Amino acid sequence: MADLSASQRSKIRRLSQPHEHTPDEAGGELNIVPFLDIIMNVLMFVLATVAVTFTTTIESTPPSAGGKGPRIVTESKSLNLTLFITNDGVSIKAAGGSIAPGCEGIGPGITIPARGADPITHQPILDYAAVTTCCKRLKDQSQDFKDETQIRITASNNIAYRKIIETIDAVRQTETGEQLFPDVLFAVPR
């Protein structure tokens, strides 16, 4: 092998040196790092702001306009229970009249008074177990009421939705699973 001339050595040195690419050359590679940064930021924003909502449905028949609500099948001997949820408690009315406090016969007053107020929200605490017990007691009073499945529920304007749902749960069945009033109708207070 022959020795290289000075010009050949200079050319080899010049070609073997690292070469900076100009912006228009870009070395034939696509730089996607900034694009991925933007996508990750957008993805994190979407994940942080998405609201996950779980919904359940409760079968009910809302009242129709004009006060002509759903027709309830009534016989001459039916219970026709209506619950009024207020801040003072739950008032129950049957076909014979309002149920007295403590679920003892017919009489005026709140049938199941609230058990005080929640220390944090200052909202009344309703006694749902007493609602279930009273509804079962009223249904068990006569054989004519055994097949009755409908109940109307009305609430004051300032009652929380959660309390209405818990009341519905309380009147549908007992803790042992015995059916009470599974067909809940919403009524409008008059």
- Burial of residue 110 (CB within 10 Å: 0-12, 13-18, 19+) is middle
pTM: 0.58
φ, ψ (nearest 5 deg) of residue 40? -65, -40
Query: Are 98 and 108 a contacting pair, CB within 8 Å?
Result: yes
Cα 46 to Cα 25: distance, rounded to the nearest angstrom: 36
What is the predicted pLDDT for the residue at 74?
41
Lowest mean pLDDT among 22-26, 31-35, 93-97, 173-177: 22-26
Domains of the chain: 77-186 (3.30.420)
pLDDT tens figures, 44-75: 888 887 766 555 666 666 555 555 444 444 44
Contact status, residue 162 vs residue 168, Cβ threshold 8 Å: no
